[in-house]
């Protein structure tokens, strides 16, 4: 069971308010998905993710296939039960991870043979393998197996890569069983507009449940990122969900929402938290800075999260410097609260028709 409908649109830009129906529950968009690559979001429990208001997580087929193995997860009744998450689960196909993490990889038209980054064991992922893995995880929304070229790949390489991604998308669609999760095509094509256009059109012709924009935020110039997002969003059907993979900062997100993107995932809030970089309504805070040693104020006086309601910047700095795991927990909680609130405010502003004001205020603040 999967459907998506648009319930509101902002005048003067492409932002839209939508609703995804999945079997666990409905999810309002624009939405952000915390990253649970290995079936766990880093330094926060599923219960706390719920309390923060998140309704959908993203997990990874490559990682979970290698460890603990899909037989373990399917014997528990799927990933949602395995990780005790009662919301929806989106899975990435593993295409990106096979090519960025695995060793001795060899790409053919049929798929990728590789060695595990964990134990060196040999494996082969075809489009059909990826779909079977995602189905065994009980994914609500699956991704096609794709090839994501490095951002500085030459035109000729990316051209072949787009052909391969289209070929694999067809095979994924054929492999998918009736009654399993929704399946999204992933638009590739690097920074080349004609290749992005070709990729989008070929996937749209295949009529996927939704479309992802992949291969961005991988090192290309920031303005290229936005140009490609705008191009792709314009080529994708209005009534289907658009998911921008792996991006981004709060400013990236509001800019992409303005271009018509509905769904996001990114490690930034959780990874930055673990590095001591925190998002606040007054800009970023790098907690290890000695200026915070005696700072008795909350991390963000406009934030209602547990961390801001109970601990000073001084305390957060102290436990971070002292290597306390609690610092990772408290800062992860805060950054994810910030993202959850951001998405809620984006949705509310689209509903009220004030998104463009909200958007420019936030981008100006972040880019100062």
| Contacting residues toward a second copy, per CB under 8 A | 38-47, 67-68, 71-72, 75-76, 82-84, 293-294, 296, 306, 310-312, 314-315, 317-319, 321-322, 324-330
Say which residues have a Cβ less than 8 Å from residue 216's Cβ, sequence separation at least 6: 225, 228, 229, 244, 245, 246, 247
Q: Contact, 197 vs 233, CB < 8 A? A: no
Task: Tell me whether residue 48 or residue 110 sits nearer to a second copy (CB atom).
Answer: 48
Minimum gap (Å) between residue 230 Cβ and a second copy? 37
Tell me if residue 265 is catalytic. Answer: yes
What is the spatial distance between Cα 70 and Cα 50, in angstroms, rounded to a whole number?
A: 25
**Min dist. Cβ of residue 328 to a second copy (A):** 6
Q: Which of 146, 252, 262, 265 is catalytic?
A: 265
The residue (of 24 and 68) whose beta carbon lies closer to a second copy is 68
- Work out how close the CB of 196 gets to a second copy at its nearest, in angstroms, rounded to a whole number: 35
Catalytic residue among 92, 140, 252, 262: 92
Least separation in angstroms between CB 326 and a second copy: 4
Q: What is the full DSSP assignment across 236-258?
A: S-TTSEEEETT---HHHHHHHHH
* Straight-line distance from the first to the last Cα atom of the chain, in angstroms, rounded to the nearest whole number: 44
Rounded distance, CA 110 to CA 126, Å?
6
| Neighbouring residues of 311: CB distance < 8 A, sequence distance ≥ 6 | 298, 299, 330
Q: Which residues contact 362 (CB under 8 A, 6 or more apart)?
A: 250, 251, 254, 342
Active site amino acids: 92, 265
């Amino acid at each position: 069971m999967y459907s998506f409908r648009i319930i509101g649109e902002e005048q003067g830009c492409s932002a839209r308010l939508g609703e995804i129906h999945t079997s666990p529950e409905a999810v309002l968009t624009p939405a952000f998905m915390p990253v649970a690559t290995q079936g766990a979001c880093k330094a926060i429990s599923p219960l706390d993710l719920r309390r923060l208001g998140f309704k959908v997580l993203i997990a990874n087929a490559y990682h979970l296939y290698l460890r603990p193995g899909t037989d373990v997860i399917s014997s528990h009744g799927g990933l949602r039960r395995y990780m005790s998450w009662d919301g929806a689960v989106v899975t990435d196909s593993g295409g990106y991870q096979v090519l960025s993490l695995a060793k001795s990889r060899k790409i053919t038209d049929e798929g990728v043979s590789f060695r595990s980054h964990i134990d060196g064991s040999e494996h082969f992922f075809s489009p059909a393998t990826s779909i079977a893995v995602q189905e065994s995880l009980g994914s609500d929304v699956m991704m096609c197996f794709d090839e994501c070229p490095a951002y500085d790949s030459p035109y000729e390489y990316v051209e072949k890569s787009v052909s391969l991604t289209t070929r694999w998308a067809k095979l994924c669609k054929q492999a998918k069983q009736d009654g399993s999760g929704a399946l999204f095509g992933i638009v590739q094509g690097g920074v080349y507009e004609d290749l992005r256009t070709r990729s989008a059109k070929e996937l749209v012709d295949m009529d996927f449940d939704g479309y992802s924009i992949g291969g961005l935020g991988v090192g290309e110039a920031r303005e290229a990122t936005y140009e490609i997002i705008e191009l792709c969003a314009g080529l994708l059907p209005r009534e289907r969900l658009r998911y921008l993979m792996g991006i981004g900062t709060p400013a990236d997100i509001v800019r992409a929402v303005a271009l018509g993107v509905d769904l996001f995932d990114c490690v930034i809030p959780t990874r930055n938290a673990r590095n001591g970089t925190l998002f606040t309504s007054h800009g970023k805070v790098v907690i290890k800075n000695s200026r915070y040693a005696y700072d008795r104020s909350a991390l963000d006086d406009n934030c209602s999260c547990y961390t801001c309601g109970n601990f000073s910047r001084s305390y957060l700095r102290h436990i971070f410097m002292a290597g306390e795991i609690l610092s990772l927990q408290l800062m992860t909680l805060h950054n994810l609260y910030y993202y959850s609130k951001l998405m809620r405010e984006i949705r509310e502003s689209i509903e009220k028709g004030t998104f463009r004001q909200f958007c420019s205020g936030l981008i100006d603040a972040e880019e100062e």
